[in-house]
Structure 1
């Protein structure tokens, strides 16, 4: 354990030098130098030195604290201590709060004095009643008692008057104090000064040893963990021990804060047949400390967890469902109540509610995690807002085409299909799409590994005109049978009003039967569809030059028994 005779704590000044932001949480890295005394010659051994790094955010996970470093020292233990601060952060607000506390204390003292005056008045009332009776008896038996009674009345009246005067003064003081307190409350509320946040302090117990081996100091938040000195001692370590001077030890303290995270976002800009993809990270944090722009910022896809465990399976027992027994006779409940038993139906319901499903805790997969280092550092304040940091700017060649589904809409949508030729795996995120200088819309993209394709929707292109027409619809009865048949034929025309050749994908459909007595026959199309699925989806690809018109025609016959009504199909 850590010895109790450690010297006076030494404050460690360790600014933030590195930040690793995870999707949920962030690891903060601080580095600083501390000077430790070393015994001279054969002098007595130096007691352990306690180094404190204070002002750390309250939200940090104490179990995640790790202390490393380099220098001639051994780590005897690491601890995390809570520091509470009930007073406001600034001096003016603290003075206002102190004045208010003083006024409230004086108001309590005034109330106590008023209670004392009320007790004094009660005593005078009792004294007046008992004294008046005694004076009346004395007056009846003694001559000249009237003068004494008058003097007693004057004295009692004077005492009661003094009590009332003091109570009036106390009431005035109470009202004055209440006005001052109300004014202070308004001032404090107007300032809205935040209270000094509660913080945590990392306490590192070191043992200075200038002759230690040249190994790095490493310790977690475990009291009995030891670490050896590192190469930071240098060749001057022996000289330091001989001369009794101080030596420098570099300490690195890292910890995890859960109130932070990042997600990916993109801006895709189409210019001609090139797509410029700006990949950025949206970072937000409420850790209680601002992240400076001088810190090394790294984005990671790892998801650290407080309790990383592998998922486990529990036995899955299979049994036959037991039918509930017939209801007991009327006298049975009384017998069971006498025996203190529970009815069978309630017992089964209780057993069913005991079922517990255990879910595996997420694990840390650092081997499969990816890290990204933005080319430019940025400061991230602890305001909870999302701050944009550019990760990379990538250019791709785009394959442009149009997509139209004239059955649902006469619009033609411009698409850009790009292949991820970069070495980066694009993460899922929202993408804002621009066509030249115009905003075309927004969407989302999924995980896109290198070599995979991603499709960007660039909105409606009004220069491509699409028309769909029902050119024939006929109904009749099948010869030699009782079935009713419906014949339908459609024509789709796509006209290119752009100044360049385009490729247009036309999608349509034919009905599919879900009943044995309903059939779809004699499907014909010109040209033949490039794709036809089992659920009746059709797809054609048209190559259109400037000003050209492409045409798609298809027809089918639908048969069903007479006297029945079809559902799920419309012209």
Structure 2
């Protein structure tokens, strides 16, 4: 059995796992050989282990086996070193505890000695000891008690400091351990050599506890000729049980687990409701749950406009860009240069790409919800990169706006981002009419409402604005709602009575949008949620 020393040379990281490649070289003589590769992590999938060989030696590879090894100590050097430090610190703490116990016993003994006043008084009465000797004894006891108290205080302070150090070491140990203690896999490669020479063996295997996800820095600049700079980053994390030091790192969008089986639909059975016997009410009645709040009839703007959360901006780092490759439905990014990712579970950033897009800027507003206009940027992804769903940090020039979630965008797909509010495009919504027809129409009442929305462009350039509003949706067949007039007319009114206008305002221009609608209902019917 030959122990082959190997190092990790390449890693392909998938969203939920990674494929690791180890390589090592050995000079072999003719004959059959079993090469042993030790200290493989427990997170590997034994069925995924594969081996290959090449070199000056003429050899035939028979196969590779995997076995589980057990150790008296954890084989990983960093883990082993931390475990030794933890054990040493625990031994020191046990020594402090022993000293503390002895000092407390001595303190108790001295207290009992000082409490024998009756015996001391009897000795004085019988003349067996003089007062001066007794005072000297008391002084000696008192001084010793002071020394013990000081020593106990010093031990308490030392132990508290050791406990803090121990907690820190244990947390660090939990981070770098990444796998069960004192166990590892070993790979056994069987080779028959026909001609002596050097042979390089590569071992590949898939490990769990690893993955990557995208992170974006999107910076918008310019108004007349806007530009969108996209920084495509990848956050790689792993707790596989072994560090990846100076490896060739590849990121893949493939998901190996989803290729194992095809989802199949089970039969969907339905049937009549079976009558159930009513159960008697318990003596102790539970308090009824509060009724859910009635849903509002407000217009909901695109969720992207509500996704702004203040987050820390990702600092830009100088790094080589990745090379993109496509294989079937998966895309891989080969990071240039060597990368290192320790098995600590912390995210480590690498740069995938940096490119610019040409966005179209406009504004979106729904003043029924909030009297603000939101700046929107739309751009075609004319890069070769597939932008996976992930968090995007947004910048306007040098100003950090916030963060939003970017949906998956393929090459030539459209990116749509909301960049916060802009006070230079104002909007106001006001109820201008609310009347009730005095005459009844066949025992029916008619209500009239009118709204005016005033928009003003204070930008030095023209602004394209998408305006959203609505009229009520009846939920009873005897209630009728009708849009009587709108100026200008909306470009769309859907089945939920959502209205949409596409407006273009020149610099300094003001425009008023007016729409009126009526609501008819039976006179005896009362309506809720009226304006």
Question: Tell me, what secondary structure is at the counterpart of 1:63?
Answer: helix
For residue 50 of structure 1, the aligned residue among 28, 34, 43 is 34
- Measure the CA separation in 2 of the matches of 1:394 and 1:541: 31
Give the alignment partner of residue 280 of structure 1, picking from 233, 237, 241: 233
Show the 5 A alignment for 1:269-418.
Answer: 269-272=219-222, 273-293=226-246, 295-305=247-257, 308-312=260-264, 316=267, 367-418=328-379
**Aligned equivalents of 1:325 and 1:381: distance in 2?**
60
The answer for the alignment partner of 2:190 in structure 1 is 205
Query: Residues 99 and 450 from structure 1, CA distance in 2 versus in 1: closer, same or farther, beyond 3 angstroms?
Result: closer
Residue 6 of structure 2: aligned partner:
14
**What does residue 512 of structure 2 align with?**
551
Aligned to 1:37: 29
- Conserved 8 A contact 2:471-2:483: no
Counterpart secondary structure, 1:370: strand
C-alpha distance 377-492 of structure 1, shift in aligned 2 (>3 A): farther
Distance of 2:348 and 2:86 partners within structure 1: 36
Answer yes or no: is the 8 Å Cα contact 2:51–2:63 preserved in 1. Answer: no
Task: Choose between structure 1 and 2: higher strand proportion.
Answer: 2
Between 551-560 and 53-62, the greater mean CA deviation after superposition: 53-62
Q: Distance in 2 between matches of 1:305 and 1:94?
A: 39
Query: For the structure 1 residues 540 and 69, does the alpha-carbon distance in structure 2 shift closer, same or farther, using more than 3 Å as the test?
Result: same
CA contact (8 A) 1:375 1:390 kept: no
* 8 Å CA contact retained: 2:447, 2:519: yes
**2:204 pairs with one of 254, 257, 263:** 254
Shift of 1:95: 12
In terms of mean alpha carbon deviation, does 461-470 or 82-91 score higher? 82-91
Deviation at 1:84, TM superposition (A): 2.6
In the alignment, what sits opposite 1:541? 502
* Residue 63 (structure 1) aligned with residue 47 (structure 2): yes
TM-score (norm 2): 0.69
Q: Is it true that 1:83 corresponds to 2:69 in the alignment?
A: yes
2:363–2:464: 8 Å Cα contact kept in structure 1? Answer: yes
How many angstroms does 1:476 deviate by? Answer: 2.3
User: 1:30 Cα shift?
Assistant: 1.3
Aligned equivalents of 2:409, 2:15: Cα separation in 1: 18
Aligned-residue offset at 1:387:
1.1
1:555–1:290 distance in 2 versus 1, CA, 3 Å = same
The equivalent of 1:524 in structure 2 is 485
Distance between the aligned counterparts of 1:325 and 1:403, measured in 2? 54
| Cα shift at 1:82 | 2.1
1:66 CA displacement: 0.5
Contact 1:477/1:483 (8 A) holds in 2: no
Aligned counterpart, 1:562? 523
TM-superposed CA distance for 1:79, in Å, is: 1.6
Deviations 1:221-252 (A, max 9, x none): xxxxxxxxxxxxxxxxxxxxxxxxx4111111
The structural deviation recorded for 1:495 is 1.0
> Gapped runs of 5+ residues in structure 1?
1-8, 39-45, 108-178, 211-245, 327-364
| Aligned mates of 1:520, 1:22 — CA distance in 2 | 54
Distance 1:474 1:91 in 2: 79
Distance 1:490 1:311, change over 3 A: closer
The count of residues paired between Structure 1 and Structure 2 equals 402
Moved more, 298-307 or 385-394: 298-307
- Counterpart Cα distance in 2 of 1:319 and 1:513: 32
Using the alignment, how far apart are the partners of 1:418 and 1:455 within structure 2? Answer: 7
Aligned-partner SS, 1:90: helix
In structure 1, how many angstroms separate the alpha carbons of the residues matched to 2:344 and 2:461? 50
Query: How far apart are the structure 2 equivalents of 1:79 and 1:52?
Result: 10
Equivalent runs, 1:126-165 vs 2, <5 Å: none
The alpha-carbon distance between structure 1 residues 73 and 448, as it changes in their structure 2 partners (threshold 3 A), is: same
Deviation at 1:11, TM superposition (A): 2.2
| Cα distance change, pair 36–375 in 1 and its aligned pair in 2 (3 A) | closer
- Structure 1: how far apart are the matches of 2:6 and 2:28? 16
Partner deviation per Cα, 1:265-288 (whole Å, 9 max, x = no partner) = 211100111111111111110012
- Aligned partners of 1:319, 1:441: CA distance in 2, in Å? 48
Counterpart of 1:266? 216
TM-superposed CA distance for 1:549, in Å, is 0.9
Against the structure 1 CA distance between its residues 523 and 297, is the aligned structure 2 distance closer, same or farther, given a 3 Å change threshold? same
Task: Report the CA distance between 1:318 and its aligned residue.
Answer: 6.3
The RMSD of aligned alpha carbons is 3.4
CA distance, structure 2, for counterparts of residue 248 and residue 507 of structure 1: 73
